Amino acid sequence: MIDEYHLDRFVAAQADTYDDALDILRRGAMCTPFMDFIFPRLAPEGETAGPYAISSLDEASAYLTFPMLGNRYRECVETLFKLVRTSAREVFGDTDAGKLHASLTLFAEATNEVLLRSVLITWFDNMVDEDTIVRIRAA
């Protein structure tokens, strides 16, 4: 399998941290250092693209079709449903809730999966992250 988008960078980042990140998430919190490679997103406008920034809808789609990464992303998203009595801000804090919103918007646009759309409905009142949508449309 050709790794056109160098997705192995996510596999390497998650190798020693994924289980911890999922455990923390299941307890209703999230650790900021894990956000970029557990819930990746487009690089924020005007910022340097970090090592875990997603470059396009095609890369987001490739991420979700990469078996390990796609399954892990969905597992984390499914975990959010178990935290429905809380809010994104309670679990993630203000900054990371914004990152989560951007990530969910990107991947929902890339695949239109019901799971991802459902989390946007539940956690973000069915609102997409407008900045992410604008950057997707500009590409």
Please write the tens of the pLDDT for every residue from 59-111.
Answer: 999 999 999 999 999 999 999 989 988 899 999 999 999 999 999 999 999 99
Q: How would CATH label the architecture of 8-138? A: Alpha Horseshoe (1.25)
pLDDT of 121 strictly over 60: yes
> Which residue carries 């911890």 as its tokens?
20
Whole-model pTM: value is 0.93
Instruction: Look up residue 22 and give its two tokens.
Output: 């999922």
Contact between 97 and 89 under an 8 Å Cβ cutoff? The reply is yes
Whole-Å CA distances, 52 to 9, 14, 32, 74, 128: 8, 11, 14, 18, 21
Give the gyration radius of the chain's Cα atoms. 14
* pLDDT of 5 over the 80 cut: yes
What lies within 8 Å, CB to CB, of 91 at 6+ separation is: 25, 28, 29, 30, 80, 83, 97
- CA 137, distance to chain mean position in Å, is 19
* pLDDT at residue 47, rounded to an integer: 64
Provide mean pLDDT across the span 19-24: 96
